[in-house]
Amino acid sequence: MKFHWFHLMPWPYLPDDFQQKHRSVWVDVDYGLFDPVRGHHVYNEYLDELEFAEKCGFDGICCNEHHSNAYGLMPSPNLIAAALARRTERAALVVLGNSIALYNPPIRVAEEFAMLDILSGGRLVAGFPVGTSMDTNFAYGVTPATLRERYYEAHDLILQCWTRKDTFHFNGKYTQVRYVNPWPRPLQQPHPPIWIPGGGSIETWEWCADRGYLYCYLSYFGYIRGKAVMDNFWRRVEELGGDDNPYRAGFLQLVCVAESDAEAERLYAEHVSYFYNRCLHVYSGFADAPGYRTLKTVRAGIRAQVGAAASAIRQNLTWKDFVEQGYVVAGSPDSVAEQMEEVIKGLRVGHLMCLMQIGNMPKEKVLYNTKLFAEKVMPKLRSLWSEYEDRWFIKPLPPEQRARVGDIREPAAAG
């Protein structure tokens, strides 16, 4: 069983009345709420936390891409991964990922990921999200009805960039390049593991199952709600004749560990509330541009969008609700281990992305949460799925072939 430590890099200074005074945390969120000097500290503390997670024994450290988003300060996750590449040496750099439909030519993504893979000695996990509607359609202006077609085309081009050794041409609908020959191409062969993060769209996990890529369901709503999507994913894998290796699948889960259940509430409740009530306060006009989902998916989900069903979701939930409904796995190490086993087995996932910096959680609590999980929870769950081979993970260079990072000697005097 593998555990990864996921950072969203939220802006932790949204005001108490954010929900009342602002319509959205995303797209048109007021830039007056940001402060670059505080931002300097925020970024550096967040990088410290990711580096700490490696030291504690997490298998991967994860970053992702959002635009015009006050809960995700990583418009370029590759910059974060580059900073981490030099300051870490073991953990996978899980970039979840680059929204490949946004870059023209997408060769840029092939190149940057290759650089990260080589710089880190083969530790890159390459995530290819379609990207949310807020990021792609609203903040980056991509026509919704063309987004998926762009995505598939970009994927094909990047794969060719990584696997072909010749200089070739690419005559796509959205990208035409006469001479494709990226320098460098990746270290891991035939290419870094490809993970597809998704928010539950049918077409995303179907495509993922079709291609044999790892599907990583990034839900903020916990394992109880996540089960329907993961069950469908596994059904699709089975239909396609794939094995039931749990390492095909990943899941994001909010995790809060403390000495006792009561202590967990005392320490973390305010940050969980900040996350759900401020970070996820998205104007519904931005949530799902017409054409972002295929009509098939819209048709399948349309009944849930109207009437009583639509208004019942996530209203005035308390800490108790968040924990009982599985949005957050929280409590003492024993209690968390027990719930985590349910998550892992229930969803059949071999890769768990733990979100342990939540909302405005300060660094001391983040380190405490992380350390306690690594020391008292992880060991109880490590052996799960040990009978399966993880074919979806990094293949780094062996230690004897690795560069000595930061090895600077005084230069000999000239002359």
Partner 1 sequence: MPVEPITISIRGGMFQPRVYRVGRGEPLLWLHGAGGMAQGFTPDLEALAQHYDVIAPVHPGWDDTPGLEHLDDIHDLVVYYQDFCDALGLRSFFLAGHSLGGCFAAELAAARPDMVRKLVLVAPVGLWMDETPVTDLFVLLPQELPSYLVADPAHPSPAVAQLFRPPASEEEMAERLYQQIANFAAAGKFMWPIPDKGLKKRIHRIAAPTLILWGAADRLVPPAYGELFHRLIPTSQLRIIEGAGHLLPLEKTDEYVREVVDFLG
Rank residues 274 and 292 by Cβ distance to partner 1 and give the closer one.
Answer: 292
- SS3 state of residue 62: strand
- The answer to whether 297 contacts partner 1 (rule: CB under 8 A) is no
- The answer to whether 176 contacts partner 1 (rule: CB under 8 A) is no
Round to whole Å and give the CA distance between 299 and 267. Answer: 43
Which one-letter amino acid corresponds to residue 55? K
- Residue 391: CB atoms within 10 A of its CB come to 12
Q: Select the residue interacting with partner 1 from 37, 165, 166, 284 (CB under 8 A).
A: 284
- The answer to whether 26 contacts partner 1 (rule: CB under 8 A) is no
- The answer to whether 295 contacts partner 1 (rule: CB under 8 A) is yes
Rank residues 142 and 216 by Cβ distance to partner 1 and give the closer one.
Answer: 142
Round to whole Å and give the CA distance between 268 and 257. Answer: 9
Q: Select the residue interacting with partner 1 from 34, 43, 168, 283 (CB under 8 A).
A: 283
The residues, ordered by sequence, that sit 6+ positions from 306 with a Cβ below 8 Å of its Cβ are none
Q: Which stretch binds partner 1 (CB under 8 A): 47-55, 89-97, 230-238, 289-297?
A: 289-297
- The answer to whether 313 contacts partner 1 (rule: CB under 8 A) is no
Phi, psi of 125, deg, nearest 5: -105, 125
- SS3 state of residue 194: strand
- The answer to whether 195 contacts partner 1 (rule: CB under 8 A) is no
Q: Select the residue interacting with partner 1 from 285, 313, 320, 402 (CB under 8 A).
A: 285
Q: In the block, which residue shows the tokens 């490949």? A: 100
DSSP for 124-177 reads EEEE-----HIIIIIIS---HHHHHHHHHHHHHHHHHHHH--S-EEEE-SS-EE
- The answer to whether 290 contacts partner 1 (rule: CB under 8 A) is yes
Q: Which stretch binds partner 1 (CB under 8 A): 122-130, 302-310, 338-346, 388-396?
A: 302-310
Which one-letter amino acid corresponds to residue 256? C
Site string for partner 1, 131-150 (x = CB under 8 A): ------xx--xxxxxx----
- The answer to whether 151 contacts partner 1 (rule: CB under 8 A) is no
Q: Name the token pair of 357.
A: 């910096």
The residues, ordered by sequence, that sit 6+ positions from 383 with a Cβ below 8 Å of its Cβ are 1
DSSP state of 40: H
Q: Select the residue interacting with partner 1 from 299, 345, 395, 402 (CB under 8 A).
A: 299
Rank residues 103 and 275 by Cβ distance to partner 1 and give the closer one.
Answer: 103
Round to whole Å and give the CA distance between 395 and 409. Answer: 30
Q: Which stretch binds partner 1 (CB under 8 A): 164-172, 216-224, 294-302, 364-372?
A: 294-302
Residue 48 φ/ψ region, left for φ over 0, alpha for ψ in the -120 to 50 degree band, beta for the rest: alpha
- The answer to whether 291 contacts partner 1 (rule: CB under 8 A) is yes
The CB-of-391 to partner 1 minimum distance in angstroms stands at 35
- The answer to whether 128 contacts partner 1 (rule: CB under 8 A) is no
Q: Select the residue interacting with partner 1 from 173, 178, 404, 409 (CB under 8 A).
A: 173
Residue 159 φ/ψ region, left for φ over 0, alpha for ψ in the -120 to 50 degree band, beta for the rest: alpha
The CB-of-215 to partner 1 minimum distance in angstroms stands at 25
- The answer to whether 36 contacts partner 1 (rule: CB under 8 A) is no
Q: Which stretch binds partner 1 (CB under 8 A): 104-112, 176-184, 277-285, 397-405?
A: 277-285
- The answer to whether 171 contacts partner 1 (rule: CB under 8 A) is no
Round to whole Å and give the CA distance between 199 and 221. Answer: 11
Rank residues 148 and 155 by Cβ distance to partner 1 and give the closer one.
Answer: 148
Long-range contacts of 178-185 (CB under 8 A, 24+ apart): 180/107, 182/107, 182/110, 182/111, 182/114, 183/111, 184/111, 184/114, 184/115, 184/118, 185/110, 185/114, 185/161
- The answer to whether 311 contacts partner 1 (rule: CB under 8 A) is no
* Interacting residues with partner 1 (CB under 8 A): 137-138, 141-146, 173, 283-286, 289-291, 295, 298-299, 302-303, 305-308
